[in-house]
Amino acid sequence: MANGICVFAENYDGKLEPVVAELVRAAHCIKETTGEKIQAAVLAEDCKALVAQLEQLGFDEIYAVETDKNCLFQDDAVSRAMAEMLKRMDPSSVLIPATPTGRSVFSRVAARLGCGMTADCTELAVDTREDGTFFIKQNKPSFGENVFVTIVTKEGVYPQMMTVRPGVYTPCEAQEGRRADVTYYKDITLPESGIQVMSSAPAMNDTDSILAAEVVVVGGRGAESEENFTLLKAFAEKLEAAIGGTRPLADTGFIPFEHQIGQTGFTIRPKVCISLGVSGAIQHTEGIKDTKLFVAINQDESAPIFNTADYGMACDMKDVLEAYLKL
């Protein structure tokens, strides 16, 4: 019977993606109920350094395939090798980073295994069937990101496969001295890919900067004008803060989607978050609920954002920013 909580160890240039540590936390939350072992599935040209990093994160078991060449962007080939790995591992669930690579590789894997996949989960919860077996409730925004739905994999279909958005879970901290049972599948090789990489360059977005920022300035509809957003940017620069926003700011192009905060964007955990012109809809506040110090400025004194804030100012954000920038 399928058993084990598998995490796809996405990696680039010999380093694990930060979201892998977050998925370990999610796996531990599942393990508290199911008691299953937490497994890593890693595929790379040089696995030894990656295996050492995975051991420090506290995996119980690590399964690795070492390739004879760089497999970056070879998603068709990687998916075939990964599908074979999962057939042998036989986990009950697979947690995947909701990244371009995770979506591309595992949509193919799901098709090969005939198990389906839930994309962009923001919360995972374990429940029990009448026969005592466990299943995962996969919660995510849906229908144009206007509603929040719960998806359950059909009974008897394994593995339960889901991608999880970065920033949703607090990362597990690496600790030296941890050890795991490591298995190398030496007979699984990377097949020939139909994709030829002509060249590659680093991405131009800075999603990682907002997820790691200690201070974040978040704009809402109140910042949805050239004048107010210019003030917001100057304010953030003076504080050396990252800039985030609600969906209206992303929809109108003031911020990239990668900086949208909330259920339909990213979850952030800064030391300080300053909200400017944000009403406080639950879809947004879910993305900032773990902020250590939250300050809200909104001219509507009855705005829901004040129910979440540690400190609030019921006034025009423009007046506050102009006064501060003169200091």
Q: What is the pLDDT of residue 181?
A: 97
Indicate if the pLDDT at residue 207 is higher than 90: no
Indicate if the pLDDT at residue 88 is higher than 60: yes
Dihedral, CA of residue 18, residue 257, residue 99 and residue 168, to nearest 10: 50
Under the banding of pLDDT at 50, 70 and 90, the label for residue 97 is very high
Q: What is the pLDDT of residue 13?
A: 87
Q: What is the pLDDT of residue 141?
A: 80
Under the banding of pLDDT at 50, 70 and 90, the label for residue 298 is very high
Indicate if the pLDDT at residue 70 is higher than 90: no
Mean pLDDT to the nearest integer, 118-140 = 93
pLDDT in tens, 137-184: 999 988 766 778 999 999 999 999 999 998 889 999 999 999 999 999
Indicate if the pLDDT at residue 204 is higher than 70: no
Mean pLDDT to the nearest integer, 208-234 = 92
Could you give all domains of the chain from N- to C-terminal order, each with its CATH number? Answer: 5-184 (3.40.50.620), 207-325 (3.40.50.1220)
Q: HSE of 12 in the Cβ direction (CA atoms, 13 Å)? A: 13
> What does pTM read for this prediction?
0.80
pLDDT in tens, 29-49: 999 999 999 999 999 998 999
User: Please, which residues have CB within 8 angstroms of residue 229's CB and are 6 or more apart in sequence?
Assistant: 219, 223, 249, 254
d(CA 260, CA 246): 6
Indicate if the pLDDT at residue 316 is higher than 60: yes
Q: What is the mean pLDDT of the chain?
A: 92
d(CA 186, CA 232): 54
Under the banding of pLDDT at 50, 70 and 90, the label for residue 196 is confident
